[in-house]
Amino acid sequence: MSSNQEGPRPSAATPVMIDGNEAAAYVAHKLNEVIAIYPITPSSNMGEWADEWSANGKQNIWGTVPLVIEMQSEGGAAGAIHGALQAGSLATTFTASQGLLLMIPNMFKIAGELTPTVFHIAARTVATHALSIFGDHSDVMSTRSTGWGMLSSCSVQEVMDFACIAQAATLESRLPFLHFFDGFRTSHEVMKIQELSDEQLRAMVDDDMILAHRKRALTPDNPVIRGTAQNPDVFFQSRERCNTYYTACPGIVEKAMQKFETVTGRRYELFEYVGAPDAERVVIVMGSGAETVHDTVEYLANKGEKVGVLKVRLYRPFSLEHFLAALPKSVKTIGVLDRCKEPGAAGEPLYMDVITSLGTAQQNGTLPFASMPRVVGGRYGLSSKEFTPAMVKAVFDELKKPSPKNGFTVGINDDVTHTSLVYDPTFSVEGEEVKRALFFGLGADGTVGANKNSIKIIGEETPFYAQGYFVYDSKKSGSTTTSHLRFGPKQLKTPYLIDRANFIACHQWFFLEKYNVLEAAAPGSVFLLNSLYGPDVVWNHLPRVTQETILEKKIQLYVIDAYKVATATGMGGRINTIMQTCFFAISGVLPKDEAIAAIKNSIKKTYGKKGEHVVQKNYEAVDQTLANLFAVKVPDKVSSTIELPPVVSPQAPAFVQRTTAPIIAGKGDTMPVSLLPEDGTYPVGTTQWEKRNIALEIPVWEPDICIQCNKCALVCPHAAIRVKVYDGAALANAPETFKSMEYKGVEYKGLKYTVQTAPEDCTGCNLCVEVCPAKSKREVKVKAINMKPQEPLRLPERLNYDFFLNLPEVDRRTVRTDTVKGTQFFQPLFEYSGACSGCGETPYVKLASQLFGDRMIVANATGCSSIYGGNLPTTPWTANNEGRGPAWANSLFEDNAEFGLGIRLTIDKNLEMAQELVRHLAGAIGQDLTMAILGAKQSDEAGIHEQRERVDVLKKKLAGMQEAEAKRLLSLADYLVKKSIWIMGGDGWAYDIGFGGLDHVLASGRNVNILVLDTEVYSNTGGQMSKATPRSAVAKFAASGKPTSKKDLAMIAMSYGNVYVAKVAMGSNDAQTIRAFLEAEAYDGPSIIIAYSHCIAHGIDMARGMTNQKVAVETGYWQLFRYNPLLAHEGKNPFKLDSKAPSKSLKEFTSLETRFRMLEKSHPDRAKELGAQAQADVKERWALYEQYAHDGGTAAPEKVEEKQ
């Protein structure tokens, strides 16, 4: 972009600090009438903005509030938009990745019908060997053949500008446009940009074109038909009929860009060249990477290098003429950079376009160069991999070689096929005028929020250009955040992380003990540390590496005890405002008083709506901060003996040491290709090596009070509190503080019993304490489980836990499976996940792993459970001592039921083939064994055990046989042991995007177990409404409360008659939950369990999640029942209502949760109306279920009693 300040222009709005998603949504909302949305990272925010603005009555430039609707999938959104466009409105949607792939069929149609629209895409990696939420062009490149215009934005300003240009161009050209920008890097980067005013937008959009579009609408007042079916005679010719539109399109876009320049002063071209006019080496690139190349080219060109960059703006239709005209005549070597990978292709897409274009020009004789340039292609930046000036330099250096590498990669170390270019990571083009600040914080301490405020202040209150980018780790609890803030006098073209900071703040002391936070510190930089230790003593507590770095880089150290200030000012654990004030005080970006005033102004803006008091408390925190901020006089010698601990225990297996540990340590970027599996297959059981130590307090067991109910172990979301029974003789080697007591029941009489916490894996959620029913007779506040500070317990409990784990597991055959107590003696094969502290889903997942884990395959829909289940570096799915455990895979979001069914079909087929072979080989196997294997019941743990023993004998026999059939049977023999197929996912999958498949699988009659972890919103993408969301709850996309009631998925499933259906809530009736799991698994047909899962997205006290579940059932908000078709076969009523009639008003539940209470605050009248309807829903639903329970002759709801 370049600026042309001449000429009169419509009034422009003031500069704003926003991210790419907001910029796109801003224009889209201003220039559309109908918006269909569906959440998918990293584009969800665009839909959220649109929904929020419409809910708040914000109008588009024509004075009407756009209609926003959430659909059940991106396919649905595309379909709805196709319809809306056909009916003549201005319509749009936003998406990314798999979502865009689901839109492709409609995109072909929309383009084929020459329909103007702009879809805004936060470009994201398409899942291959793994899912990735991060950015590259693999999704948008998959749509190349749809016939859409494709316009690429490189920066947040361009996102706003191109959103507008695309709209103007689509209306005139009639080609639909994909407007895309890099997911996260641009969609989530906060930048100071010029907002387009309504006047500017009006000036860009030609009303006549809109009228022409509306005139083409389907209407009975002027009927036409579209979407005909055509035959070989005319289809081909018809397809060529649109060519003129494609020929005209680049000119139209160019015209729109020229008009945009007159309106705003900002100039763009279809292909934009920057660099030396006589450049010999040119890089061609699209997206945010072009900014990095641009900056690097300017730096190198200033040093006299003949280099340049060609930024591709309009990728489709690809204009040969404009492309050739934009390249400097002097070019000799071209490097084309693609942000995607097409394995097996002759080259990546942009590379092939360039080659084709040059080849065509050469053939046509229109090549404007002395000779055909040499062209090489390379890949960079997959899944948001960093792309820095150092890498750009490496590309230009490569282009200088006589035979530059083709198909190279840059930014990684490919030690397998040696595609990668070597680069010098110390190379930098950033000038001293750019200030760079890096902040390490915890998700929970508000660091990111404060930094978003800080950069907004700098951007909006000073003449500086400013940029903020925020990095999060892959955990949902105790996650680390890194904030990268830059500001300076010139526009920033730095879409990459800070690697030499002038200012580093560490908001949590314990980070120092994990890694060197000063690695990216520039010499002479400032280090602000939140420290319990004051300026006089802090030095002696710093790890050696920190001291060394401070001295080596001559870093100025400041300390503040932010938690002390937070406590003194009533801020609790929120240190955000305090650390923000320190940053401004030290950095001097604004004069002190102005900075304080700006912070306070920002506090007022952020918190003002939520009441004066919270504003005042923040003001107090600001006022008290400076008196507590101290410069530290740094000694001149390193004195510390504190070393950083190893990332994982030396006992960890080789794979974990080699591959997992560097990822945990944040060194994944430097890992060579060879260290990673070829096909995305990873070993299980790796969370155990990632000792996160995130709990401030952990549960401590009091044997004297314990009644051995095992409920603590049942509800633990992280399998961090466990129980065992064992022979007392084992205690001989027990650590000193290991606790034990006599087992109280008859089944293990004479054995010892222990409840043990995993001190370094516990997240401190408190659910175990909450459900513990045993209270001290002397002091009721003391329970059998109580929370105590973790730090002093860490070492002794680590020893105790190691000892505990080494105690033998209980023999599964001896366990009373149908009791809460019994189930908890089964080893959890799902442990220490990165789910939210106090998660309501994982207790169910863990329970399934305990009951069936050693013969279980899990098909997991994308969502929270696939993230805490399978997000690198580690997985909570694990194996038992025999090496058996759940095998797990995630296919997609929308296809999980089908994926699971496919697994079932193979298992069934394998079993069938194995049984056939057993029969064929009966003579060799022996008749008794054959009969026993084929006739095995396997209906309980003993039956499974016996079958395993038979299969072992069989395998031994087969091992000695040479026949092909024997070898085949050997490969299939394990399938003779019953396998348990579990299809898991959240309500977004089951109720919405995957419902069609789920319904089909239910109808298949096949033996699959479906577990719906029903949080009643799309939790993983940030709480968007699903069809499981209850009436009156506030969710994203339902900002004014969901007006309709929750879909009754159970009732739909029951309508088949042959599906086992259960609705459970562990916090209300754990025995019923266990019964449902056992019955579902035992049922030889489809089963579905709908499990109420409290969730952080409900806005609740997560420590009381199980209590909320209890109240949900008591008020009738959630009902417990089981529908077992087997009972119908016995002539009984298959439907058993396991909960009692509502004994409390719905309000007693809804008042516990912010999702409902928020509506009372935001829309009080609507809250009353929807609240009354929701109460009526409860009554109606209960009456219906009660009728079901009675109709079959069951007089009263059967209560599931705990059998102990």
Distances (CA, A) of 439 to 455, 470, 523, 574, 664: 12, 9, 17, 15, 19
Distances (CA, A) of 252 to 101, 256, 1087: 27, 6, 57
User: Minimum distance between the CB of residue 615 and another protein, rounded to whole angstroms?
Assistant: 8
User: Minimum distance between the CB of residue 864 and another protein, rounded to whole angstroms?
Assistant: 9
Q: Which residue blocks in 960-1011 are alpha helix, DSSP H? A: 964-972, 987, 995-1004
User: Minimum distance between the CB of residue 477 and another protein, rounded to whole angstroms?
Assistant: 8
Residue with smaller CB distance to another protein, 448 or 550: 448
User: Minimum distance between the CB of residue 871 and another protein, rounded to whole angstroms?
Assistant: 10
Interacting residues with another protein (CB under 8 A): 41-42, 44-45, 48, 51-52, 55-56, 133, 184, 188, 442-444, 446-449, 452, 470, 472, 475-476, 479, 481, 572, 607, 609-617, 775, 780, 836, 867, 1019-1023, 1034-1037, 1039, 1096-1097, 1099-1100, 1102, 1154-1155, 1158, 1160-1162, 1164
Residue with smaller CB distance to another protein, 295 or 445: 445
Residue with smaller CB distance to another protein, 379 or 1155: 1155
User: Minimum distance between the CB of residue 495 and another protein, rounded to whole angstroms?
Assistant: 16
Beta bridge partners of 980: 856
Q: What are phi and psi of 556, to 5 degrees?
A: -85, 130
Residue with smaller CB distance to another protein, 39 or 317: 39
Residue with smaller CB distance to another protein, 188 or 752: 188
User: Minimum distance between the CB of residue 45 and another protein, rounded to whole angstroms?
Assistant: 8
Distance between CA atoms of residues 603 and 597, nearest Å: 10
Distance between CA atoms of residues 85 and 498, nearest Å: 44
Residue with smaller CB distance to another protein, 127 or 1001: 127
Distances (CA, A) of 976 to 815, 943, 995: 23, 12, 32
User: Minimum distance between the CB of residue 1161 and another protein, rounded to whole angstroms?
Assistant: 4
User: Minimum distance between the CB of residue 1197 and another protein, rounded to whole angstroms?
Assistant: 23
User: Minimum distance between the CB of residue 95 and another protein, rounded to whole angstroms?
Assistant: 14
Distance between CA atoms of residues 411 and 384, nearest Å: 11
User: Minimum distance between the CB of residue 614 and another protein, rounded to whole angstroms?
Assistant: 4
Residue with smaller CB distance to another protein, 166 or 694: 694
Shortest CA distance to 171 belongs to which of 240, 129, 116? Answer: 116
Distances (CA, A) of 1116 to 1077, 1095, 1109: 22, 19, 11
Dihedral sign computed on CA atoms, order 187, 191, 197, 200 = negative
> Tell me, what amino acid is at 569?
T
> Tell me, what amino acid is at 1007?
N
Shortest CA distance to 933 belongs to which of 921, 951, 911, 920? Answer: 951
Distances (CA, A) of 806 to 790, 801, 803, 828, 883: 22, 9, 5, 14, 15
Residue with smaller CB distance to another protein, 44 or 1009: 44
Describe the strand order of the beta sheet including 887-889 as a list of residue ranges: 887-889, 856-860, 980-986, 1009-1014, 1087-1092, 1060-1064, 1121-1123, 1135-1137
Shortest CA distance to 1204 belongs to which of 820, 901, 793? Answer: 820
Beta bridge partners of 193: 16
Residue with smaller CB distance to another protein, 392 or 785: 785
Residue 192: CB partners within 8 Å, gap ≥ 6? Answer: 15, 16, 17, 459, 460, 464, 465, 466, 467
User: Minimum distance between the CB of residue 932 and another protein, rounded to whole angstroms?
Assistant: 51
Shortest CA distance to 686 belongs to which of 720, 732, 655? Answer: 655
Distance between CA atoms of residues 693 and 188, nearest Å: 30
Give a three-class secondary structure readout of 345-378: CCCCHHHHHHHHHHHHHHHHCCCCCCCCCEEEEE
Active-site residues, by number, are 41, 74, 124, 1020
Q: What are phi and psi of 438, to 5 degrees?
A: -125, 130
Shortest CA distance to 717 belongs to which of 843, 882, 566? Answer: 843
Residue 157: CB partners within 8 Å, gap ≥ 6? Answer: 1, 23, 191, 193, 194, 266
> Tell me, what amino acid is at 701?
W
Residue with smaller CB distance to another protein, 446 or 685: 446
> Tell me, what amino acid is at 311?
K
